[in-house]
Structure 1
Amino acid sequence: MSQTLQLHPDRLLPTDPGTREVARRLYAEVADLPIVSPHGHVPPAWIAQDTPFRDPTSLLITPDHYVTRLMHASGVDLADLGVGRGELDEASSRAAFRLLCEHWPVYRGTPMRLWLEQQLVEVFGVEEVPSADSADRIYDAVAAWIARPDARPRTLMDRFDIEVLATTDDPCDDLEHHRTLAEDATFTRSVVPTFRPDRYLEPAAEGWVGDVDRLAEVSGQDTQTYAGWVAAMEDRRDFFRARGAVSTDHSHRDLGTERVSDSEAEQLYAAARAGRIAADDGDRLRRHMVGEMVRMAAEDGLTMTLHPGVHRNHHAPTQATFGADVGADIPLAVEVTRALQPALSAHGTDPDLTLVVFTMDETTYSRELAPLAGFYPSMRVGVPWWFIDAPGSIRRFRSAVTEIAGFTRTSGFIDDTRAFLSIPARHDMARRLDCGFLAGLVAEHRLTEEEAAETARYLVATQPKEVFGL
C-alpha cells in the first residue's frame, strides 16, 4: 500500500512545546504575506508570453540542479534526466520522472525534500509518497495539472501572491519581455530585470573579446579602449534602470576590489583586447573592474549583490558534455575583510550605495561579514543561498550574525531559483525558520513577543523592499 504525503503544520518550528507555541503565533503573522523575490532566475519570457509548462520532468527536474546533482551523485546519468537534451518526448520525460521517484530516499533530510513535498501537495494535490510504484500515477497527476488553463505563469503569480519577481539578465539583453510586461495593463504584478555583467568582467576568459564587442554594438560605445568599456557599462546600467532594474548581481571566485592606476588599467585592458593577458593580470583587471562597479552603484543607486567563492563546472567532462551550470559547482573558502577594504574605504559610507554580500563559506559570518555590516552603512549580509539555503544553515546564520549586526543589517530572503513552482515553498521555509529563531529570543526573554512579531513582519514585507529599493 502506498504511503501518504503529509505536510505537518509545525514543520521546521522549534521542538520545545512552549517555544513552538510562540513560533506558531509569529508564523501566523507572516504566513500569508505577499512574496517579494528580489533575486532569482525565472526566465522573463515565461511570464511575458504566459508560456505553458511542457511536462513534469522539464517542470520539476531538468532545470533544477539542486535536484539533478544528488541523483547524479547516486549514479544517474544527467542525460537520463533531460539535461542537455532539449524538449523531451513523453517516454523520455516519464522515464526521468521515474528516476526521481525511485531515488526519493536520496532526498531525506534535505531542503529539496521539503520543497518538492510542498509542491506535490499544495500545487498538484498529490498525496502519494514518490516511489517506483507510485511514479507513473504521480507523473499523470502532474501532467493533468499542467494541462489545466490556470496552470500558467501569470495565473500562478497571482495564486502564489508574488508581488515582485526579479530576473537575472545579460547586459546586452534588449529587455523586450520586461517592456511587454510593463506595458500590459492587465498584468498587476512586478517583474524587474537584474544587471548581471560577470562575463564582461573576466578579461582572461575565453570569448571575452567577442562579448565586449557585442557590448559596443548595443551601447554605441567604443570598447576598443578601457574608457569605452567603462562608458559602455554605464550606458547599459542606465538602460536597465530605465526599464525597472533595481540591482546588479556579481559572482566571481573572490571578492577582490583592489584598484590599479588608470594607466595600468588601460595597459591591461589593451592586453586583454589583444588576447594576450595572463591569468593573474586578468584577475587584477577584473578586481579593478568590480571596484568600478561599486563606484557606479554608489552613483546610480542600483543595489549591488556579490556572491563569490564558487569553483564553477568542477567536473570538466560534465561541462564538455552538458555545458555550464548543471550542478557541478562547488563552494570555495572566501576572504572578505581585506578583499572589500578598497571598495568600502572609498564608498562604504556613500548614502546611495547598498552592497549585499552573500557567501557559501559559513566561517565568514561572525568573523567578517557581520562585523563589516555592523560598521558600514552601505553593507548588508546576504541571507544563506545555494547549498546553505537549508534549515540548519539558516539557523546558524541567524545565530552568528544577529548577535553582532542585528536583524536590520541583513538582506531579506533570496530564493535564487529558476524552479518557479518552488518559490512559495522556499519562502515559507525561511519564514518558519526565522519565526522559530525569534521565538527562541522571546523564550529567553531577550525580546517581547510584540517585538518578535514586528521583526518577523519586517524581515518578510519591509526589508527586501528597503534593501533593493523597491
Structure 2
Amino acid sequence: MKPFLDPDFLLHSDTAKRLYHDYAKPQAIIDYHNHLIPEQIAQNTQFENISQVWLNGDHYKWRAMRTHGIPEKYITGDASDRDKFRKWAETVPYTMRNPLYHWTHLELQRYFGITEQLNAASADRIYDQTAEQLQQPSHSVRGLLKMMNVEVLCTTDDPLDNLEHHQAFAKETESFQMLPAFRPDKAMAAEDLGSLNSYIDKLAELSQQPISNLAQYLDALKARHDYFAANGCKLSDHGLEQLYAADYTEAEVASIFLKLRSNQALTASEVLQFKSAMLQYFAAWDHEKGWVQQYHLGALRNNNARMLAQNGPDTGWDSIGDFSQGQALSKFFNKLDSTNQLAKTIIYNLNPADNELFATMIGNFNDGSVRGKMQFGSAWWFLDQKDGMTKQINALSNMGLLSCMVGMLTDSRSFLSFPRHEYFRRLLCDIFAQDVENGELPDDIEWLGKLVSDICYHNAKNYFQF
C-alpha cells in the first residue's frame, strides 16, 4: 500500500517517476489565466490567516460545505475566520474522491510543510501553524508565488480597469511578470440593457467622449484594447455559454446599438446579432496585435436565483451546460479565417461530451502558420480534476497533437492553487509512462522528457511570446 501523497503521488511506474521528477517538476510555471487580484500582488499582501487566503472567494470549497450541510454563515457570512476554517476542516474528510481532498492536502504540504490530514480534530492546530507562517515574508503573496516557481501570471481584467496595479508592479524588479488579460464580456451583454447602458456610460466617462452610436462605441473600446496592449497585455478572454455567429450587416448592428442606447427592448435575434458582431470586432483587434484569444465555453451560470440575489455571481451556483457548440465554432472561426484575421486561439469546454468536438475543431483551422495555432485548452473548472484532465489529454492525443499543447493554468481566485500545475504534470507523466509500460510507446526517456517539458513550459513560453 502506497502512503498518501508521497513524493510519487499519481506516478505508477519508474518511467512516470523519471518523467515527472527529471523533466516536469523543474519547469517554471506560466499561469496564463487566473482570477487573482492584481492589487494584492502589487501591494504584496500579507494575509492574517489561512481562511483569508484559502476560503475567501473559493466557490469550489463553498459548494462542498453547503452540500455537507454547513450554514451560509460559515461560508460567505459573518462567522469569524477561525470558525469558517473549522467548518471547512470538518467538511474535508467527507470530500474523499472529490479533487478538493487532493488539492487541500497538496496545498498544505507545498506551502506550509504540513503532512497532517485536515479534519475537525486538527483544525485549530493547522490554523495556528499556517497563521504563524503567513506572517513571515516567505508567505506574503509574492512569496507564495515564488515558492511555486511562477514565471508569468496573467490576471483577468475588464476593459474599464485602469491597470494601475499592473503599472505599479511593472516598475519593480521582480522574479515574475504580472500581465493583464482583456475580458470584454460586459461590453457585449445586450440581454441586460440596463447593465449594458450603465457600462457604456462608464466607458464614455473614462474616454471623455460621448457614445451615442456604434462607431463611437467601437472607437472607445478599441482605445481600451490599445491601452491594455501598451500595458503588456497579450491575451484576451471570453466567458460565454457558446460562441455567437449569427448573420448580420454593419447597418443592422448600428441600428441595434441605437435601439439599445434608447433603452428599447431588443428581440432575441437582435441580441444574438449584436453579440456576434462584437465578438468579430474583438477577434479582429486581437489578430491585429498578435494576441492570443481565449474562449471559455459551456457554463450554465447563476442557476439559483435566490442565492444569486443574496450573494451575487461567482459564489458557487453554476454548473455544466449542454449548449450546442459545433456549428457556431465552425462558422465563427471560418469567417475570421476567410479574411486572414484568425488569431492564435484557445477554446475550453465545460461539457466533457464536447471533448472530441473541440479537439477536432481546432484541426480545421491549424493552417501551418504557427505551431499549435489553435489549441484545445486544458480541462477547465468542473473538469480540472483527475478524470477530467485525463479525458482532455486523451481526446487531444487521439484527435490532434498533444505535443503542441500549451499546458495547464489555475483559473483560480486563490494564491494557494498553484499545485494544480503539479497535479496536471503528474497525470501527464503517468499517462505517457503507461503507454511505455504497455509497449505502446518506445522507452525513449530523453525524447518523452522533451515532450513533457514542452507541454509543461516551453510551448506556452513560445506561443504567448513571454
When normalised by structure 1's length, the TM-score is 0.92
Q: Aligned-pair distance for 1:160?
A: 1.8
Alignment of 1:161-176 (within 5 A): 161-176=149-164
Q: Aligned-pair distance for 1:195?
A: 0.7
Asked whether the equivalents of residues 137 and 143 of structure 2 are also in contact (C-alpha less than 8 Å), the reply is: no
Alignment of 1:287-302 (within 5 A): 287-302=276-291
Q: Aligned-pair distance for 1:334?
A: 3.0
2:350 aligned to which of 341, 360, 371:
360
Q: Distance in 1 between matches of 2:394 and 2:387?
A: 11
% identity of equivalent residues: 28
What's 1:234 paired with? 222
- Shifted more, 221-230 versus 134-143: the winner is 221-230
What's 1:252 paired with? 240
Q: Distance in 1 between matches of 2:323 and 2:463?
A: 23
Matched, 1:320 2:309: yes
Residue identity opposite 2:343 in structure 1: L
Q: Aligned-pair distance for 1:6?
A: 4.7
Matched, 1:63 2:57: yes
What's 2:254 paired with? 266
What's 1:199 paired with? 186
Q: Aligned-pair distance for 1:26?
A: 0.6
Show CA shifts across 1:160-205 (max 9, x none). 21100111111111101111111113x2310000111101111122
Gaps of 5+ in 2: 367-372
Residue identity opposite 1:106 in structure 2: Y
Q: 1:404 to 1:147 in 2, by over 3 A?
A: same
Runs of 4+ residues deviating >4 angstroms:
none
- Shifted more, 42-51 versus 52-61: the winner is 52-61
Q: Aligned-pair distance for 1:435?
A: 0.7
* SS state at 2:422 partner: helix
Residue identity opposite 1:381 in structure 2: F
* SS state at 2:431 partner: helix
Show CA shifts across 1:93-141 (max 9, x none). 1111111111112221122211210121232232322222221111111
2:447 aligned to which of 431, 442, 451:
451
Asked whether the equivalents of residues 204 and 272 of structure 1 are also in contact (C-alpha less than 8 Å), the reply is: no
Q: Aligned-pair distance for 1:54?
A: 2.7
Show CA shifts across 1:46-83 (max 9, x none). 111111113221221122111111111222223312x2
Asked whether the equivalents of residues 221 and 229 of structure 1 are also in contact (C-alpha less than 8 Å), the reply is: no
Matched, 1:388 2:386: no
What's 1:278 paired with? 266
Residue identity opposite 2:217 in structure 1: W
What's 1:17 paired with? none
1:306 aligned to which of 291, 295, 304:
295
Alignment of 1:68-79 (within 5 A): 68-79=62-73
Q: Distance in 1 between matches of 2:447 and 2:265?
A: 55
Asked whether the equivalents of residues 55 and 143 of structure 1 are also in contact (C-alpha less than 8 Å), the reply is: yes
Q: 1:339 to 1:420 in 2, by over 3 A?
A: same
Asked whether the equivalents of residues 35 and 413 of structure 2 are also in contact (C-alpha less than 8 Å), the reply is: yes
Residue identity opposite 1:464 in structure 2: A
Show CA shifts across 1:18-48 (max 9, x none). xx11111110211121111001011111111
What's 2:8 paired with? 10
Asked whether the equivalents of residues 90 and 120 of structure 2 are also in contact (C-alpha less than 8 Å), the reply is: yes
Show CA shifts across 1:343-395 (max 9, x none). 322223737711111011112121x2111212312421111010000011111
What's 1:27 paired with? 20
Q: Aligned-pair distance for 1:221?
A: 4.7
